[in-house]
Amino acid sequence: MRLKINRAYLLIAPAFAYMAFFVAYPLAEAVYLAFFQGGSPTWENIDYLLHSPFSKFYDALKYTLVITAIVIPVETFLALLVAVLLYNKFRGRDALLYLVIVPLTISDVAAGLIWYSILTSNGFMNNLLLSLGVISEPIQVFGSGYTGRMLIAIALAEIWRSMAIVFVILFAGLQLVSRDMIEAAEVFGAGWREKLFKIILPMIKPSLQSALLIRTLFAFQIFGVVWILAGRNIPVLAGEAYYELTELKHYGVAALYALIIAGISLSLGAVYVRTLRASHLEVER
């Protein structure tokens, strides 16, 4: 018995070592940088974050939440719609599947540059609308006076880039839904609404939960797309952490930003786990 216990600890030791080195230690270091200075507790970083005229914390929090609130529901809906569409086999299905997952291979910086070239005043979109006679002069999207338009551009770029992540997870979950169950529901007269809400969505709850968890973590770390398209005209939490760390050398403030991002992400993750629990997979005790 003792040999089995020791073997079990040995098998999980690499996972514990990984978590200790890559999660626990950086977290402890962030807490120390944020709340200690010279070995003594300090509120200086919190005071700077909340009250300094040089801090953009409130704007960064607002814009991060706004972008997250726009991007996650839209791309989850689109990913689910495309996944359900591709669940059925038809001519050209593989080609369409390939086109959907292509943005998964593109980095956030590259996605920002692509959409900047599309939406800039001399870009593809303005040239197309001008040639069609829809507009008489180029539409300005980027600049300090166009916050709303830049938010739309950021949302479009981020949805286009990261919808593939949600799609892949949901599409994989859909493969576990029995086609016999769908066909049986059709025999009994179930329409697409009943099949979607009574069979498909309950069965893919674990996949939906995983997709939302991963996507929320990435959404609160959004940085490259915003930095390329808007810079600090639209501050976000990760962007401000980068700015405080690299430009101002405020290591404690940057660590505090990181802790805030982690705290919000974990809180939303707990909500997802609680609300999207798949009751049909739980074992009754």
- Taken in order of first residue, the domains within the chain and their CATH numbers are 43-281 (1.10.3720.10)
| Res 197: pLDDT | 79
- For residue 182, give every residue at least 6 positions away whose Cβ sits within 8 Å of its Cβ, in sequence order, or none: 195, 199, 200
3-state secondary structure of 23: helix
In this prediction, the residues of the chain whose per-residue pLDDT falls under 70 are 1-5, 277-285
| Res 4: pLDDT | 55
| Res 68: pLDDT | 93
| Res 3: pLDDT | 52
Q: CA 30, CA 229: separation in Å to the nearest integer?
A: 29
Write down the pTM of the prediction. Answer: 0.86
CB 145 within 8 A of CB 230: no
Direct distance between the N- and C-terminal alpha carbons of the chain, in angstroms, rounded to an integer? 27
- Name 41's bridge partners: 36
| Res 5: pLDDT | 59
Q: CA 137, CA 261: separation in Å to the nearest integer?
A: 41
| Res 76: pLDDT | 92
